[in-house]
Structure 1
Amino acid sequence: MTWTAPLSPLTPEQVVDGQLRAYNAKDIDTFMTYWAEDARIYQHPDTLLASGTDEIRARHLIRFQEPNLHGRLLHRVAVGATVVDHEVVTRTFPEGPGTVEVIGIYEVTGGRISRAWFTLGTPALG
């Protein structure tokens, strides 16, 4: 019998990167593996948008239907369990396709995102 060392746990930065890759692939099942069961998503600073994996999944299933959805990472900073991403997200807004700058602040606990806060800029159409 051969012993294999357990895989190293992902760093908080790797967790956030994995969920961004799954987001861009619109792979809901992989995306959800990066979120804790009791995770919460907020509009910064304290407006609750989704609580728990059922609500997070439902929110993103709708988002993943957008044909041009894509988050482009501009900059990432990681300190301890906190990861901050600055992205430009391509979306299909009710007014039409465009982009929006987003700052995402992620708290990673036990290898999964436990809380996330998002601040959005003004959408740019076209």
Structure 2
Amino acid sequence: MTSSNTNEAEEIVGGQLAAYNARDIDAFMAYWHDDALYYEHPATLLAEGAAAIRQRHEIRFAEPLLFGQLLTRVSVGNLVVDREVVRRTFAGGVGTVDVIAIYEVSDGKIAKAWFKLGTPKLDTVTDH
């Protein structure tokens, strides 16, 4: 693929991350194919189709501190790999989790995505 295709794939993935950080579900979903597949790496299907992906993220977008900080982005052709640290509200409290996200872009939208999450690290609270 040409570098323009690589740039297009990166722009699409970057746009969905910006919509994720804005917690704008409609803008976020505009980057996903109607029949997109969403996996826990390597092969556990978590959501099939835009409606299921939307449902997962409506819950997540309710978290007021949700934010994905991009550390690194690399791409080859229509595959984009992001390394992120995501701030979330977990069952045990607020913290961060390391994430590797792999996106396959097709026809201008995300067709497949795989996510590998590290162990959540809860913020520590100290009394002064």
State the TM bucket, normalised to the shorter chain: over 0.9
Could you say which residue in structure 2 is the equivalent of 1:109? Answer: 106
Aligned residues: 119
Mapped to 2, the partners of 1:79 and 1:33 lie a distance apart of: 23
Q: TM-score, normalised by structure 2?
A: 0.91
Residue 69 of structure 1 and its aligned partner are, at CA, apart by: 0.1
Identity of aligned residues (%): 61
Residue 113 of structure 1 and its aligned partner are, at CA, apart by: 0.1
Could you say which residue in structure 2 is the equivalent of 1:16? Answer: 13
Consecutive unaligned residues in structure 1, runs of 5 or more: 1-7
Per-residue displacement from partner, 1:66-116 (whole Å, max 9, x unpaired)?
110000000000110000000000000000000000000000000000000
Consecutive unaligned residues in structure 2, runs of 5 or more: 124-128
Mapped to 1, the partners of 2:67 and 2:26 lie a distance apart of: 17
Residue 17 of structure 1 and its aligned partner are, at CA, apart by: 0.1
Does 1:63 pair with 2:63?
no
Q: TM-score, normalised by structure 1?
A: 0.92
Q: What pairs with 1:49-60 in structure 2 (closer than 5 Å)?
A: 49-60=46-57
Per-residue displacement from partner, 1:2-42 (whole Å, max 9, x unpaired)?
xxxxxx99700000000000000000000000000100100
Aligned CA RMSD, in angstroms, stands at 1.3
The structure in which a higher percent of residues are helix is 2
